[in-house]
Amino acid sequence: MIDFELSEKARGIQLMTRAFAENAARPVARKFDEEEHERPVDLIKMVHSFMKGGIGGSTMESGSKEKDKGKEKRKSEGNFRTAVMIEEIFWGDAGLALALAGPGLGGAAVQATGTPEQKEKFLPRFSAEEPVWGAMAITEPEAGSDTANIRTTAVKDGNEWVLNGEKIFVTAGRSALEDSEGFVVVWATIDPKAGRAGIKPFIVEHNAPGMQITKIEDKLGIRASDTVSISFMDCRIPEDNILGSAEVVDKTQTKGFKGVMATFDATRPMVAAMAIGVGRAALDFLKETLANEGIAVRYSISPGRMTAIERDIMEMEANLNAARLLNWRAVWMLDNGQRNSLQASMAKAKAGLVVTQITQKCVELLGPIGYSRKLLLEKWMRDAKINDIFEGTGQIQMLVTARNVLGYGRDKLK
Ligand SMILES: Cc1cc2nc3c(=O)[nH]c(=O)nc-3n(C[C@H](O)[C@H](O)[C@H](O)COP(=O)(O)OP(=O)(O)OC[C@H]3O[C@@H](n4cnc5c(N)ncnc54)[C@H](O)[C@@H]3O)c2cc1C
């Protein structure tokens, strides 16, 4: 049964994060947006001290676990709590939230595809005293939505893998690679003829020889978070740093690749939570501004008597709630060990669309106030769009949804 009440612990996390978001993140949101690439060191330390495991920590506690064989299953709400926390912190500021240390996509990939030994080695780093970042590098100049196009290669040489290729748009790549304990999970092919089945994730640590950051992006939104290009030229990493098996199971199938994609079942709901936080920030601001002008939404009057703005606000609220409920279902399934690829994609598609629409509508309705850089609304509009792009665009989420609903494979629905 799905329970819509927050547990005491989740409520506590929500209140604590909300206080941080309001009192620590909001006041410096503009500063770090303007000073793109400046690391918010004090904030990072503050958040890390009370939230070791950080944003994305959800993925470190995935699915229900059996206490003992044959005994009752222990259900977790780790991912649910993290989704609640993420909504609050992104309500405070999306750029700063993404700049905070934590497992991120890299940690999620280790959790989803790593061996017990790899989890033991890499995941505790995120709970250590010093902040640590995990990033993931999939995208290449010729491979975005279509990951089968990945050209970065990994070739076995003795007891090492040798990586060659170029990755672009790696979120928190600089933070992860500058940090002595940080790492980037790099997707590379060990058999270019095998298509998706040949693609494997590799852990590349900060000091790997042959790896270099070649560019730091200047971006529209989430400017406090670094996004980098990384080149690999005969980059050598230990043989144990391949996540999962090096076997190319079946060249006609994509079984191994499905394991890799499981990372997204855990992370897409977290992106949806980010989007919901930004959308809520814009909507709260709109309502507050209107309330200061003496305009309140009259929820109980008939639709025929509503003003256009009341109708707009109710529609936005309904969409935001729908996105949150879809997302909570996806996260609940994850916590309960249920396959949630469909629900995760539906939640991300809805939330990415909704946050883009809400932030634009709020700017439109408030006119000059919305467009002014004195206030944060224009920034939220800029910060919103990325939620509809990374970890699979809105169009790709709808494609995944359609495939799941219709029971079609990649070959039938492209
Ligand atoms: C700020 C930022 C941070 C990022 N962080 C990361 C990161 O940490 N790691 C990482 O690996 N990548 C990251 N990315 C890359 C991001 O995941 C890709 O941009 C995204 O997957 C889309 O790929 P693409 O840009 O190559 O667009 P393309 O795949 O070329 O798509 C272009 C357009 O066509 C649409 N499209 C493509 N195929 C289809 C289809 N079959 N049906 C319908 N429409 C389709 C897309 O939706 C899109 O609108 C980041 C990007 C940005 C902007």
What are the tens digits of pLDDT across the range 296-354?
Answer: 999 999 999 999 999 999 999 999 999 999 999 999 999 999 999 999 999 999 999 99
**What is the C-alpha to C-alpha distance for residues 383 and 3, in angstroms, rounded to an integer?**
31
Indicate whether 70 pLDDT > 50: no
Ligand 1 atom with the smallest distance to the CA of 138 is: 11
Which atom of ligand 1 approaches the CA of 399 most closely? Answer: 42
**CA angle, corner 268, sides to 266 and 271, nearest 5?**
120
Query: Any idea what the CATH number is for the domain that residue 165 is in?
Result: 2.40.110.10
Ligand 1, pocket-test mutation among 185, 391, 393, 403, most atoms within 8 A of CB: 393
Distance CA 226, CA 170 (A): 8
Distance between Cα 392 and ligand 1 center (Å)? 6
The reply to whether 250 falls in a domain is no
Length of the chain: 414
The secondary structure of 46-76 as a DSSP string is HHHHHSTT-TTGGGGS-S-EESSTTSPEEP-
**Distance between Cα 291 and ligand 1 center (Å):** 39
Q: What secondary structure letter does DSSP report for 89?
A: H
Ligand 1 site residues, Cβ closer than 6 angstroms: 105, 135-139, 144-145, 169-171, 219, 227, 386, 389-390, 392-393, 395-396, 399, 414
Question: Of 252, 220, 214, whose CA–CA distance to 233 is shortest?
Answer: 214
Specify if 414 maps to a domain. Answer: no
Q: Strands (DSSP E) along 75-147, which ranges? A: 134-137
Q: Probe ligand 1: pick from 133, 142, 145, max atoms within 8 Å of CB?
A: 145
Question: What is the distance, to the nearest Å, from the Cα of residue 69 to the centroid of all Cα atoms in its chain?
Answer: 33
DSSP category for residue 175: H
Cα 199 to ligand 1 centre (Å): 18
Residue 144 shares a structural domain with residue 208: yes
Handedness of CA 288, 289, 292, 295 (dihedral sign): negative
10 Å Cβ neighbour count for 152? 23
If you measure from the C-alpha of residue 357 to the centroid of ligand 1, how many angstroms do you get, rounded to a whole number?
Answer: 19
The Cα–Cα gap between 136 and 128 comes to 20
Give the domain CATH number at 39.
1.10.540.10
Whether residue 54 is found in the same domain as residue 141: no
What average pLDDT does this structure show over 186-199? Answer: 93
* Mean pLDDT across the chain: 91
Mutate to test the pocket of ligand 1, among 390, 412, 413 (most ligand atoms within 8 A of CB): 390
Of 237, 177, 235, the closest CA to residue 210 belongs to 235
pLDDT at 255: 55
For residues 179 and 283, which has the higher predicted lDDT (pLDDT)? Answer: 283
* Whether residue 91 is found in the same domain as residue 159: no
Q: Please tell me whether residues 295 and 378 are part of one structural domain.
A: yes
The secondary structure of 251-273 as a DSSP string is TT--HHHHHHHHHHHHHHHHHHH
Q: What residues are labeled active site? A: 391
Distance CA 182, CA 197 (A): 27
Q: How do residues 141-190 score in pLDDT, each as one tens digit?
A: 999 999 989 999 999 999 999 999 999 999 999 999 998 899 999 999 99
Whether the per-residue pLDDT at 59 is higher than 50: the answer is no
CA 221 to ligand 1: nearest atom = 1
Answer whether 141's CB lies under 8 Å from 168's CB: yes
**399 plus 262 within the same structural domain:** yes
Q: What is the gyration radius of the CA atoms in the chain, in angstroms?
A: 21
| pLDDT surpassing 70 at residue 14 | yes
Q: Indicate whether 83 and 26 sit together in one domain.
A: yes
Question: Is the CB of residue 407 less than 8 Å from the CB of residue 341?
Answer: no
**Cβ–Cβ < 8 Å for 157, 215:** no
Ligand 1 nearest atom to the CA of residue 139, by list position: 11
Confidence of residue 248 (pLDDT cuts 50, 70, 90): confident
Would the pLDDT of 65 be above 60?
no
Residues 313 and 269 in one domain: yes
71-85, 178-192, 226-240, 245-259: segment of lowest average pLDDT: 245-259
Report the nearest-CA residue for atom 48 of ligand 1.
393
Residues 363 and 271 in one domain: yes
Q: What is the CATH number of the domain that holds 283?
A: 1.20.140.10
Tokens of 267: 């992370």
Q: Residue 170 C-alpha to ligand 1 middle, in angstroms?
A: 12
Per-residue confidence (pLDDT) for residue 5, from 0 to 100: 85
- Determine which residue's CA is closest to atom 31 belonging to ligand 1: 145
Name the domain boundary from 94, 127, 160: 127
Substitution candidate for ligand 1 out of 37, 167, 389 with most atoms within 8 A of CB: 389
Q: Are strands 134-137 and 183-189 parallel, antiparallel or unpaired?
A: parallel
In the reported structure, the alpha carbon of residue 155 is separated from the centroid of ligand 1 by a whole-number distance in angstroms of 26
Domain coverage including residue 380: 255-406
Q: What is the pLDDT of residues 90-138, one digit of tens each?
A: 999 999 999 998 999 999 999 989 999 999 999 999 999 899 999 999 9
The proportion of the chain whose per-residue pLDDT surpasses 70, expressed as a percent, equals 91
Atom of ligand 1 nearest to the CA of 414: 41
Among protein residues, the one with the nearest Cα to ligand 1's atom 41 is 414
pLDDT at 49: 81
Burial 82-121, CB ≥16 within 10 A → b, else e: bbbbbbbbbbbbbbbbbbbbbbbbbbbbbbbbbeeebeee
* Coil/strand/helix, residue 164: strand
